Amino acid sequence: MGVLLFGLNVALPALIAKNDGRGFGDSAAAIFALGTLPLILLIGSVSHFGFIAVPVSLPYILFTVGFCLLTLAYALFRGHLNMVGANLLQLIAGTVVSMAAAYLASSVEHLLLMIGLGMTLISGVAFLQRNRGIRPARISWGDTAALLKFGSVRVPGLLFQFFLLAGAPLLALSYLSLTDQAFLNAGISLVRSFLMVVGPLGIVLLPRVSSSMAGGGDHRLKANLSLLVKATLYYAAVIGLGLSSLSEEILVLWLGNVTQAGAAASEILLLSVPFFVLSVVLRSPIDGGSGRGYNSVIYGVGVAAMICVFFFAIRVELNPLSASAWAFFGGHIVSGVASLIIGEKLFRLKSLTGKYVLSLVIALVSVTILLALNPLTGVWKLFLSFGSIVTLCLVHFSVSKEQWTVALREVLRKQPSESN
């Protein structure tokens, strides 16, 4: 969707938050009408000439138009910092419409037609209401060029983000059996599950970072971002290490069975959790803090590292399943470290102090010892070990006297009172 929208899903919330009152919404509507819609129709037309295996019919086209318009309207609400309206729109146009269509539809084409029509109508009305109509007089070349420039440099990053998640299975497709593919995808799904926790942060952070940078409140922003980076890296590293050690038990509970190679691959995949989470958390601040497409470079380098690691592992005759896991791990290490480096330089965060790194090392060693001392096996080991790790994280956050945890608790205590 981000590619079809020319990056408007990132550009619109960032630029509206920085420049409230200008006609970015109207210019985005013009880009959608003159760029996105013709591109979708072109793809549908080309598919009928045999370039795509399955011709794209009207239901598929309408579904894509509806989803793009929903994404655009959602971005508009984000830019105005109206997250209640944005989430309500997504709930109604995305979830309720889809559930109703699934109940009423008699075929896949009928289903897509109903969903596409519902999303198009509801998202169109929501966009017009939030933007207070479409006024051609407010459409300017300057705003349109700013949206296209801001979004276009991020389009490669949107593609690279997809490949960082799906690249390992795609690279190994011709090397793996169906069983190994299932175990690889299961391990990646466990890593992706962390998006449920950190994904909403990016939705909120992008417009807020842009607004804060424009309003001159960057000192407080940098302090809070530094705390966010420290908390994310610390607790994600601890939980990721614990899940990695318990990967076999997790897959047995989830899938009912697991091979030794599958468990070993998931163990490697779950070690990438802190780097995966770190890059997700910093993605929106980096987008909002600079007009340059830093994330395209970050994720491009990560993809290059993933490809290099995979083919090197295959060349030294490593098991293809392990090669895929190491490729995923290598790609996310590079993207996570690159995100941290650019985030540190862009906002001058100075997050990785000596005391912080020492505390993190002690925490990881403690978790390793705790897991090694657990005498249980199977499901009981999983629940006891994971429960102990979560409890330790909560206790650390609640009672630790480290400067960053004290500051983080103070920030979180102030937040409710400020919102009231």
Q: Could you tell me the mean pLDDT of each successive run of 10 residues in the chain, 420 residues long?
A: 89 83 88 94 75 71 94 92 89 94 92 95 95 89 92 91 92 90 92 81 67 63 84 93 92 88 94 93 85 91 96 92 96 95 87 90 92 83 89 91 89 59
- Rounded distance, CA 123 to CA 121, Å? 6
Question: Helix, strand, or coil here: 353?
Answer: coil
Q: How many residues are present in the chain? A: 420
Element (H, E) at 159: helix 155-171
Enclosing H/E stretch for 411? helix 403-419
Q: Residue 83 has what pLDDT?
A: 84
Domain coordinates of the chain in residue numbers?
8-151, 153-414
Amino acid at 30: A
Closest C-alpha among 175, 381, 365 to residue 261? 175
> Which has the closest alpha carbon to 81: 18, 11, 151, 17?
17
pLDDT score of 338:
96
- Are the beta carbons of 249 and 383 closer than 8 angstroms? no
Record the tokens describing residue 381, joined without a space: 């080991």
Q: Where does residue 324 rank: exposed (0-12), middle (13-18), buried (19+ CB within 10 A)?
A: buried
Find, among 241, 250, 204, 239, the residue nearest to 224 by Cα: 204
The rounded distance, in Å, linking the Cα atoms of 11 and 154 is 9
pLDDT of amino acid 241 = 94
Check the CA dihedral 364-368-374-377 and report its sign. positive
Q: Give the per-residue pLDDT at 381.
A: 86
| 3-class state of residue 317 by DSSP | coil
pLDDT at residue number 411: 78
- pLDDT computed for residue 419 by the predictor: 46
Q: Looking only at Cα atoms, what is the longest distance across the chain?
A: 72
Distant-in-sequence contacts of 406-411, Cβ < 8 A, 24+ apart: 407/223, 407/227, 408/227, 408/230, 408/231, 411/224, 411/227
- Which pLDDT belongs to residue 420? 43
Structure tokens at 30: 């013009």
Q: Which helix (H) or strand (E) holds 336?
A: helix 320-347
Q: Which pLDDT score, from 0 to 100, does residue 58 have? A: 86
Residue 252's identity, in one-letter code, is V
Question: Position of tokens 């920030």?
Answer: 411
- Nearest CA among 18, 27, 125, 20 for reference residue 69: 125
Euclidean distance between CA atoms 105 and 115, whole angstroms: 10
Question: Taking each helix axis from N to C terminus, what angle separates 378-399 and 403-419, rounded to the nearest 10 degrees?
Answer: 80
> Half-sphere exposure (CA, 13 Å, Cβ side) for 99?
6
Do the beta carbons of residue 304 and residue 221 sit within 8 Å? no
**pTM of the complete model:** 0.85
The token duo for 49 is 């000439």
